[in-house]
Chains A and B, each alone.
Chain A
Amino acid sequence: MAEKLLEIKNLKTSFRIKDDYFAAVDDVSLNVNKNEVLAIVGESGCGKSALAFSIMGLHTRAKMEGDILYKGENIVGISPSKLNKLRGKHMGMIFQDPLTALNPLMIIGDQIGEALLLHNKEMSKTQRKEKVIDLLNKVGIPRPEYVYEQFPHELSGGMRQRVVIATAIANEPELLIADEPTTALDVTIQSQILDLIKDLKDDMNSGIVLITHDLGVVAEMADRVAVMYAGEIVEIAEVTELFEEPLHPYTRSLFNSVPNASEEQDRLHVIQGIVPSLQNLPRTGCRFAPRIPWIDESAHEAHPELHEVKPGHFVRCTCYKHFRFPEEVGKEEEHHGVS
């Protein structure tokens, strides 16, 4: 049995808009095990980043309900000083845009060194510098002594992302949250950074939560995948299982809308309608129902729940059983007509 590192139970993170609170993460339960990459996939506004930020306690003005247990300790509502002992030491975070994730006025060495300084007061200055140079080496930065003294603007995007990663892994955290770590990077750099994250995981046996919208990245990296839509998890499964047999209509639509470099497609699938804004999220019934209006209402559950369809493969709502793409519906009818 895999060792549980992080256990999220019924997490609800709400933001205040005008006078009301709206849940961006709505009743999410998840586990992350040691030495595992859990990918969270979805489009902007689905709540995946809000979930990542919740785990790190980075929402300063959100209302959080439910539990996030890190090795059994609840970090929802924890005191700031306790949280700060966990952050950076036991959990690290990699951000999307390396161009804005570094303090423009601080040299690289001090930015990485800060993570060490905060959690290891005994370390001397020279020890710290040595360790930072070690880390720069580890993330594949050439001439680390020189880069140590440089400012962020003197480095390329790929190099800056390596610095952000070095900062996140400075204290060998057991949990690493990577929020779209390669979205802003070129594809060759992306593949280098993904390799780096994989190697680091193997090195440190950490659990990784990988937030991304890129199914290719998921296929390359994840052990398990959770698909989010409108603040909820709609499907969760082992990666090969999910890619072979995606069940939820949203997951299937997503797969069909990506242009795929290894397959010929004439037309891409388009999901009808638009992603609803936070205030306009449907809060009852199947949240994806308005975007598949050709599916009969009776296919949906009144209170959709996650059903375990195979060991470890969960799908929300029963509508997946009845789901067909409109093109398929047309073809089937044609077929029936002929016969």
Chain B
Amino acid sequence: MGFLKIEDLKVHFPIKGGLFGRTIDHVRAVDGVSFTLEKGKTYGLVGESGSGKSTTGRAIIGLNHVTSGKVYFEDKEITGVTKAKSDFRKDIQMIFQDPYSSLNPKKRVIDLVAEPLRNFEKLSRKEERIRVQELLELVGLNPESILKYPHEFSGGQRQRIGIARAVALKPKLIIADEPVSALDVSVQAQVLNFMKEIQDELDLTYMFISHDLGVIKHMCDHIGIMYKGRYVEEGTAKEIFDNPQHIYTKRLVAAIPDIDPRKREEMKQFRAEVNSEYEQSYNDYFNEEGLAYGLKPITDTHLVALPEKG
């Protein structure tokens, strides 16, 4: 069994309507998703806005209500456990997108970073202070800055505070939802490097949610591609980027701007081909509702959503 195993996860949100605000339909934000994370690796969840990637991440740690399906963490079922002090809450932490709004501006760094510690561990003031300083040092911030407020830091530094918070309890899994999307490239590099460093140091497993395929390729060992709440393809980074099989993935990968200006014409032609293939074979790859079929294995690691008949 895997480290984190998701089985047929569904998250449906009701649509209210009519005269009395009854539930008239559901938005199938996550519609039957299964995958497994390996310990110590980074798993990337990719998709465009509205694909359900963030909802999946939030559902795993209980921030979104799970409609059906199961979530296992180290062979224990944690589906829908909402108790704040359960063990897995300590082992699974989340990093959010916006370092500006995810930190309470009225709290000092020491209180922000110590908050998870206070929930789970009973430390004396002095012990707590030492732990927080260690954590700040770990994320490359000056340990003297524990009395500062978030606004006194730059975007990258703030995201590091967020990471310090997330690693405070020595978690085993970190779910990072677009952790660098709000940052400038040079700051982004800083945060990504740092996340790789502490991964080795603390033996962390990451689930990395992003729409930025460059970042995903740089960070991830395995990748899942989501579209309209379902998986269209899953595989190693190499399989996804070098040998995409599903037409949706092909188009997504082709759309990444190429860094070589001389390949411009070549890329344009390639994209035009992929786009026409996409339009022509759309009905082969998606059902009448425009949703992906179930995943079929192509190799041991590479799964593609193909129709029954093939």
Contacts and interface: CB of A to CB of B under 8 A. Distances in A.
Interface of A: 43-44, 157, 186-191, 194-195, 213-220, 222, 239-240, 243, 253-254, 257-263, 265, 267-271, 274-275
Shortest 10 CB-CB contacts between residues of A and residues of B: A216-B257, A259-B218, A268-B189, A257-B189, A186-B48, A191-B255, A43-B184, A271-B186, A219-B261, A239-B261
B86 interface: no
Contacts of B267: 220
Contacts of B186: 43, 253-254, 257, 270-271, 275
A271 B190 CA distance: 8
A269 B193 CA distance: 9
A240 B265 CA distance: 13
Interface stretch (B18-26, B171-179, B209-217): B209-217
A312 B99 CA distance: 40
Contacts of B211: 186-187
B141 interface: no
B201 interface: no
Nearest to A219: B261
Contacts of A195: 268
Contact of A219 (B192, B213, B255, B259): B259
B259 A217 contact: no
Interface of B is mostly: helix
Given A257-B189, A268-B193, A222 B184 contact: no
Contacts of B217: 259, 261
A44 B189 CA distance: 15
B260 interface: yes
Given A265-B218, A269-B189, A271-B186, A220 B258 contact: yes
A186 B213 CA distance: 10
A43 B185 contact: yes
A186 B252 CA distance: 9
Interface in B171-229: 184-190, 192-193, 196, 211-215, 217-219
B258 A259 contact: no
Nearest to A217: B257
Contacts of B261: 218-220, 222, 239-240, 243
Contacts of B102: none
23 contacts: A43-B184, A43-B187, A186-B48, A186-B49, A188-B48, A188-B252, A188-B255, A216-B257, A216-B258, A219-B261, A220-B264, A240-B262, A243-B259, A257-B185, A257-B186, A257-B189, A258-B185, A260-B259, A261-B213, A261-B241, A270-B186, A271-B186, A275-B186
A169 B202 CA distance: 53
B198 to A, nearest CB: 13
Contact of A261 (B48, B157, B214, B251): B214
Given A219-B261, A243-B261, A275-B184, A270 B193 contact: yes
A44 B155 CA distance: 11
